[in-house]
Structure 1
């Protein structure tokens, strides 16, 4: 009851004309940030952070958090319309969102993505509201073995549940691991595979690679196929929105599973990117028509978007309760709190109740406002499909180049983007999946660090991954997921023989 009263007090703080105006401005800026490839929520929040120093902490955090919500919504737009992930966690959305747009269902894909985003974020906010103390205690139990177990579960699930040839999945994932290892070894401090080039000291940035692998390669493929978008007629009206909403109850279990996966990986170090991939894989596994995934299945849009937004929202929970950021954006917000003279942690809920509950209330209102704003703008986004490709292709190239350059303000990243574009083009021509490569690139170095720290702690003993019930359960689930395809294949052969 006390928490409910505090939440109502938070709504009374947020519902002022100044804060509502900041909320709308933040969402609009966030959508622009999410649409531009390479900029991303963390960069957008970091760039605008100095503007908030003159504000009171509550208004400042409302503006910055709404930029984050807007970026979460906006990341799906270019993924669905152009197969260019605006955000790292939007990669999995391209698998079915882009085919839907090409089939003339851009409105349905965008509405599904935004609705899934809203539901995932809402579940994340509810968790923050009611489960903050319990989750904070649980997260304190995580060490390097638990971190590695979560990453290992993600990799194994992707291999075991993927429909592509297992050999191609493993090869693509190994390429991603190799690319993730380039740069400075965070454990030993030694340089790896830099070949004396200073520009490789920081390794290959994930966003630069993604822009090239998906954006540039897609432009090359489209040029080869005839300089035209398929599915130009992207007419959208309220009928499409309401029709899509009417079908949401059919996907209730997919939404709930993806929300649970997202909240789990948001609180733990998995992150929104891992959540989107895992949400997609689990939805594909439980689907009645798994073969339709990758060809324009609406669940292939709902699942990754719901999981990613649940993870992105719930990542703020350990930041507020423990002072441990669960994502890059949460880390930027953590720095803002400290600049404003606030110390995140359990005492924040006692000493700064107005701030905490004002922030939580703004999460509810920000997500509702974000959903309304992006749905009102859906016709504008879908109209892009009517622009001839010969006109839009140079614009996309320029936007991709700007996005790649913005990551580190380095011209080398533009050339790197082009190189990854060629790699993506070759992979597509040879029917190698890009998703495992991307997954390994973004999570490979983190998984390696967690594994090596675990080995140092156990002096090389693998039994550390079964040292307690939590890490043992995760590792067991990972191995089951890895062997799932082998077991399914053996079962299918036995049935054929029996028949």
Structure 2
């Protein structure tokens, strides 16, 4: 009941004309970002974050999260109409979405995608509404050892649940830790890896790094691929909307399964992309029409879109309650909160209740506004792809440069942004994951401080991380996740060689 009263107060904050206008602007920008391949939710939020420096934190976070909702919606448009995934999590949507468009059912596929995205997001927001205060109250009992255990579990989860090479994930994370350690040591007051550069006394600016890694890096990769767009027309007929909405209630089991999968993958650092594939795979296995998946089945669109939106939204739960981002976009938003002088974590609910509940209320409103906008403006957003990429790419690079320059009004940051852009490009070419690097840059300082504080309290005894059932359980789970790829490889090797002979 307390949560509902607080949520009503949040709606009083979010329902102002100014904030509704910010939602419309943010969702419009987000859908454009989602429609354009080579960009993404994290990229868009990172590029446009400097615009919020002069805004109140509540208004700024509403604008940025609205950009995120719009990007989640927008990725489905190109996947269905052009077979071009606007976002990584939209790849699974192409499997049945584009065949439906080829069969003359593009409007039904779009309505199914938008509606299921809305359902997944609302389910995840409801989870945040009732679960976040409980997690925050529980986390108030955490000390340095418990916080490090949670942070360690977050890093380990990227290793254990990653889809690619565990070695590349660890290497990316280690580079992020190295970049996070540049500057002044908060504990000893000594300088680390500044190489005599005054600009590095405060370390690498997180915003400059993510603008380069995501924005410039993706543009360089897209330019190398010679990306071209072929324009297409699209419209939504009202009879198609009604006809599709009549079919969707029959898929309630698919909705529920995908919501659960998406929320789990969002809270743990799985992300929207694996959630969409997992939602699609489970639906294909359990659906009565599973054999028809890949040929233009509406349920094959509903499952990945529901899971992706639920995961993208649920990723904000650990970010708000524990200060642990569950996705790259949540990591960028975490950096924004720190820039605005807010410390994500359990105390945020105590010290800034208007901010927290205004944000949660805006999640409900933002997704409603987003659903209405994408249902009514699909032709406009699809027409964006008719603009030549040779015009779009320089415009994005210019916006990135302006965003990096505004951090400190220094050209050094622009050059630094370009250097990070080259690094992002190399990561894409060599298939090294960027999210672990970004996560390590965001949480590196906090994890180091928590670890060193725990060591000071325990006088160097590592056993402090197993001093109680909570901390010990989290650390043990983290160790299992960290070594999970090695355990899986060992199990596969033993299975391949047959049973191991017992010693005589």
Q: Residue in 1 aligned with 2:476?
A: 476
Report the Cα offset of residue 327 of structure 1. 4.7
Residues in 2 aligned to 1:280 and 1:313: alpha-carbon distance in whole angstroms: 18
Q: Residue in 2 aligned with 1:87?
A: none
Seen in structure 2, the aligned counterparts of structure 1 residues 161 and 311 have a Cα distance that, compared at 3 Å, is closer
Seen in structure 2, the aligned counterparts of structure 1 residues 327 and 426 have a Cα distance that, compared at 3 Å, is closer
Does 2:314 align with 1:310? yes
Seen in structure 2, the aligned counterparts of structure 1 residues 203 and 139 have a Cα distance that, compared at 3 Å, is same
Residues 185 and 191 in structure 2, CA contact (< 8 A), matched pair in contact too: yes
Report the Cα offset of residue 498 of structure 1. 4.0
Does 2:124 align with 1:123? yes
Residues 180 and 442 in structure 2, CA contact (< 8 A), matched pair in contact too: yes
Does 2:74 align with 1:70? no
Seen in structure 2, the aligned counterparts of structure 1 residues 259 and 378 have a Cα distance that, compared at 3 Å, is farther
What does the per-residue CA deviation read over 1:318-375, in whole Å, with 9 as the maximum and x for residues that have no partner? 99xxxxxx9566678887xxxxxxx9876999xx9xx998887665444423443355
Q: Residue in 2 aligned with 1:56?
A: none
Residues in 2 aligned to 1:231 and 1:301: alpha-carbon distance in whole angstroms: 24
Does 2:380 align with 1:380? yes
Seen in structure 2, the aligned counterparts of structure 1 residues 44 and 487 have a Cα distance that, compared at 3 Å, is same
Q: Residue in 2 aligned with 1:48?
A: 55
What does the per-residue CA deviation read over 1:413-458, in whole Å, with 9 as the maximum and x for residues that have no partner? 2111111122222233333333332332232222222211211121
Does 2:443 align with 1:447? no
TM-score normalised per structure 1: 0.69
Give the root-mean-square deviation of aligned CA atoms. 4.9
Report the Cα offset of residue 194 of structure 1. 0.9
* Count of aligned pairs between the two proteins: 441
Partner SS, residue 48 of structure 1: coil
Partner SS, residue 172 of structure 2: helix
Seen in structure 2, the aligned counterparts of structure 1 residues 110 and 156 have a Cα distance that, compared at 3 Å, is farther
Q: Residue in 1 aligned with 2:466?
A: 466
Unaligned runs of 5+ in 2: 34-42, 79-85, 283-299, 324-332, 500-504
Residues 172 and 437 in structure 2, CA contact (< 8 A), matched pair in contact too: yes
Partner SS, residue 432 of structure 1: coil
Report the Cα offset of residue 193 of structure 1. 0.8
TM-score normalised per structure 2: 0.69
Residues 120 and 259 in structure 1, CA contact (< 8 A), matched pair in contact too: no
Residues 276 and 305 in structure 1, CA contact (< 8 A), matched pair in contact too: no
Unaligned runs of 5+ in 1: 51-60, 83-92, 265-274, 290-295, 320-325, 336-342
What does the per-residue CA deviation read over 1:46-85, in whole Å, with 9 as the maximum and x for residues that have no partner? 52229xxxxxxxxxx6x56643542432455798999xxx
Q: Residue in 2 aligned with 1:85?
A: none
Residues in 2 aligned to 1:249 and 1:285: alpha-carbon distance in whole angstroms: 15
Q: Residue in 2 aligned with 1:255?
A: 259
Residues in 2 aligned to 1:65 and 1:215: alpha-carbon distance in whole angstroms: 20
Q: Mapping of 1:55-204 within 5 angstroms?
A: 66-74=62-70, 76=72, 94-97=87-90, 116=117, 119-120=120-121, 123-125=124-126, 127-128=128-129, 130=130, 134-204=134-204
Partner SS, residue 497 of structure 2: helix
Seen in structure 2, the aligned counterparts of structure 1 residues 487 and 360 have a Cα distance that, compared at 3 Å, is closer
Seen in structure 2, the aligned counterparts of structure 1 residues 318 and 152 have a Cα distance that, compared at 3 Å, is closer
Q: Residue in 1 aligned with 2:432?
A: 432
Report the Cα offset of residue 27 of structure 1. 0.7
Residues 207 and 404 in structure 1, CA contact (< 8 A), matched pair in contact too: yes
Q: Mapping of 1:281-300 within 5 angstroms?
A: 288=281
Residues in 2 aligned to 1:423 and 1:113: alpha-carbon distance in whole angstroms: 35
Q: Residue in 2 aligned with 1:229?
A: 228
